Structure 1
Amino acid sequence: MTTRRTFLATGAATLGAVTVLPFAARAAGEADRYPVDGGEIVVHPVSHASLVLETPAGTIYVDPVGEPSAYDDFPAPDLILITHEHGDHYAVDTLQALTEMRTQILANPAVYDMLPQELKAQAVKIANGGTTEMLGLPIEAVPAYNLTEGRLDFHPEGRDNGYVLTIGGRRVYISGDTEGTPEMRALEDIHIAFVSMNLPFTMDAEQAADAVAAFQPDYVYPYHYRGRDGGTQDPAEFARLLGEADAETEVRMGEWYPGGLEG
């Protein structure tokens, strides 16, 4: 059985100039912290595409799915971001369990239309290319879609979102499910990026590394890399390829699959 440890070991001796800090190498329970104006951003991988960001403006959940108990150790959400409707990104039962009276929700229009009325009352919809402000944070909706023939139906152009949030003067990009689109490659001044890669649904490690090398965030987390029918991608291979591209980006490895990649 392939494990996360196997993935992190693969290619570890040939990572080139890219710095890689595996999650397992940190002290137990230690989160990544990034200083920003007014405080810090604390990154908590949860599972696959789900993550929590603690920020000076409040706590942000991204695509929360699965058992609500997975979020017991985090502050309640001030803002929930939903990229699109697939079950590994949108789960209405999880949202209902996690959403409090103060929680705001930001979603693409397709998900907004699916929300039950009590959640829709706390939600705002934003389409590709739109901008808004929530918790006092500027937010941009970046188009997320497939480019490759045979994958186009998974994430058609115009439906799904990635997001760029400006937090304490730093820009954070969450890709959602996408390939290396022109919009991703044109991003500027990204401090932290979360970039998906799996087949057949998004892209392989090579395409992901090529796209990240184009916009060169300061830090990048490969995430959402469990695929189907052999399509799981190796984050260490992604780091190696990014190193070969001479990108000045530090790769961070999060604990996205605590139950194992087969789970």
Structure 2
Amino acid sequence: MKQMLLGLMLLPIVSHAQLPSPDKVEAGSGPISIQPITHGSLVLTWNNVTIYIDPYGGGQLYNGIARPDLILITDIHGDHLNPETLSAIDVDHAAIVAPQAVVDQLAPNLKDKATVLANGSSISKSGIDIQAIPMYNIPDDKDARHSKGRGNGYVLTLGGKRIYISGDTEDIPEMRGLKNIDVAFVCMNLPYTMDINQAASAVLEFKPKIVYPYHYRGQGGLADVEGFKKLVNKGSKSIDVRLRNWYSGG
């Protein structure tokens, strides 16, 4: 069902020139560049390593961006595992990290590059520590759009900074229990993940230094990220809520 709806909501292809400008976060061995792409997709660059997270939206979005050294995929849905985008970008030198359900659906040439990472497991690639974090809906039952164990959120450690990518999740205990997160990317699109109240409540509990609302387009349109920012900063003025236009082409 989600795949069908996402097909109806696919963005027009946009050029790299229309993407928001990348942000910089200071880290050891040089700054981390954060490039929003679209929806739940972003590119991180650090110490000459380029990381694509859930590449989606068409190959043109990645024009002018260095080819990936590492690709992280969170889930099987088409806005995370997107064969069209994967086939349009240069993956020749990329390692892929993903949960088993994703690797099972990869094209044969990509399976050869993939490492399966299950919830709670860790691995190091290109000098970056990668920890797989659960992502799922509550209640975790047969009707859940995202069942526990199928997909991964991730915590990356690079240059001494810890970066959390939520993937598609509700405000689960595993997210609320995170510690020492420097940068968080937190989803908020109903009915697949959280509303802004759930997302703000979870963020106020695990207290990242910087948080980006992302993946905020749902059946009702775009979530009220300004409202999310107000909720977070009402509870803690020390959390830097960064709003970027993840849908600049749509």
**Alignment TM-score, normalising by the size of structure 2:** 0.88
CA contact (8 A) 1:198 1:224 kept: yes
Is residue 41 of structure 1 aligned with residue 32 of structure 2? yes
- Tell which deviates more after alignment, 149-158 or 56-65: 149-158
Measure, in 2, the Cα distance between the counterparts of 1:93 and 1:259: 18
Is residue 237 of structure 1 aligned with residue 216 of structure 2? no
Measure, in 1, the Cα distance between the counterparts of 2:140 and 2:243: 30
Which one-letter code corresponds to 1:185 in the other structure?
R
2:93 to 80, 90, 102: 102
Q: Which runs of 5+ in 2 are unaligned?
A: 1-18
Match of 1:209 in 2: 200
Measure, in 2, the Cα distance between the counterparts of 1:207 and 1:152: 20
Q: Which runs of 5+ in 1 are unaligned?
A: 1-27
Is residue 259 of structure 1 aligned with residue 244 of structure 2? no
Shift of 1:95: 1.1
**Secondary structure in structure 1 of the residue aligned to 2:247:** coil
Kindly report structure 1 stretches of 4+ aligned residues shifted beyond 3 Å. Answer: 148-152
Greater relative CO, 1 or 2 (CA 8 Å, sep 6+): 1
**Secondary structure in structure 1 of the residue aligned to 2:217:** coil
Which one-letter code corresponds to 2:60 in the other structure?
S
Match of 2:9 in 1: none
| Residues 129 and 170 (structure 1), Cα distance of their counterparts in 2 relative to 1, 3 Å cut | same
| Residues 150 and 124 (structure 1), Cα distance of their counterparts in 2 relative to 1, 3 Å cut | closer
Match of 1:118 in 2: 109
Shift of 1:65: 1.1
Aligned residues: 232
Measure, in 2, the Cα distance between the counterparts of 1:100 and 1:50: 16
Shift of 1:97: 2.3
Measure, in 2, the Cα distance between the counterparts of 1:46 and 1:100: 17
1:194 to 167, 185, 192: 185
RMSD: 1.7
**Secondary structure in structure 2 of the residue aligned to 1:129:** coil
Shift of 1:139: 0.6
| Residues 150 and 100 (structure 1), Cα distance of their counterparts in 2 relative to 1, 3 Å cut | closer
Match of 1:15 in 2: none
2:51 to 46, 52, 60: 60
Match of 1:135 in 2: 126
Is residue 182 of structure 1 aligned with residue 173 of structure 2? yes
Which one-letter code corresponds to 1:235 in the other structure?
V
CA contact (8 A) 1:200 1:231 kept: no
- Tell which deviates more after alignment, 40-49 or 97-106: 97-106
- Tell which deviates more after alignment, 239-248 or 249-258: 239-248
Is residue 88 of structure 1 aligned with residue 79 of structure 2? yes
Measure, in 2, the Cα distance between the counterparts of 1:204 and 1:32: 25
